[in-house]
Chain A
Amino acid sequence: KQEVTQIPAALSVPEGENLVLNCSFTDSAIYNLQWFRQDPGKGLTSLLLIQSSQREQTSGRLNASLDKSSGRSTLYIAASQPGDSATYLCAVTPFSGGYQKVTFGTGTKLQVIP
C-alpha cells in the first residue's frame, strides 16, 4: 500500500526566504505526482503536476522536482511571501492510472511571517 509522508508538518519562515517542502512515497511505480495548496477551511488548488517521465515542473516562484528512484519530491518556493501561507499537500497517482487510488500526504502547514 502506497504511503505518502510530508515532513515537517508545520514550518514557519520569515518573508523573503527560499524554502523547500518535502514529500516522500513508498512505492516508486507512480503515474504522476501533484502538489496542491489548501487555504484554511477551503478546498485544494492544484499547483504543479509532474508526470513520472519528468524530473521537474516550474510555475512562477514554484519549482517541483521528482526523483522516483528515491521516492521523493520537493516543492521549492522562492522569495516567500505572506500570501504563500497555506497548507501544501502532495498526492501520488499509481502507475495503473486508477484515479481512485490517489494517495494524499497529510500536508505541511506553512506560515510566512512578514
Chain B
Amino acid sequence: DVKVTQSSRYLVKRTGEKVFLECVQDMDHENMFWYRQDPGLGLRLIYFSYDVKMKEKGDIPEGYSVSREKKERFSLILESASTNQTSMYLCASKFANTDTQYFGPGTRLTVL
C-alpha cells in the first residue's frame, strides 16, 4: 500500500514563528503536492513539485515556501506564521504518468 505520512497531526504555533510541515512518501512518486483545506473553500493548491529540487507555485503560494531535496520528502515552510494560515494542510503524491493522487492524513495547524 502507498503510504504518505505527515510529521504532525496537530500543531499549535505563535504568530511570527517559522513553521515546518514535513511530508514523506514511500512509493518513489515523482510528483508531490501541498494543499490547504478550509471550510467552504475546498482544497487549494499551495505548491507542487514535479521531481527532486523542482517546484512550482500553485494557486495560493503567498506566505509559503517549499523544499524538495530528496525524492521522498516534500517540506512546506511558513516563513512567518500568521493567524490566517490556520488551516488543515494536506500533502499528496503520485507517479508522473498516472492520475491518482495519494493523500497523507493531514496536519491541522493553529496559529495563535
Contact = CB atoms under 8 A, between A and B. Distances in A.
Contact of A106 (B41, B45, B108): B41
Contacts of B42: 4, 89, 104-107
A42 B104 CA distance: 8
A113 interface: no
Given A43-B4, A46-B102, A93-B99, A104 B90 contact: no
Given A41-B106, A44-B90, A100 B100 contact: no
> How many interface residues does chain B have, given as a range?
20 to 34
A34 B9 CA distance: 25
Contacts of A42: 105-106
Interface residues of A, number: 22
A31 B98 CA distance: 12
For the complex of A and B, list the 9 residue pairs with the smallest distance between their C-beta atoms, beginning with the closest.
A43-B103, A104-B43, A106-B42, A44-B103, A104-B42, A43-B105, A46-B100, A43-B106, A43-B104
Interface of B: 4, 9, 31, 33, 40-43, 45, 48, 56, 58, 90, 92, 94, 99-106, 108
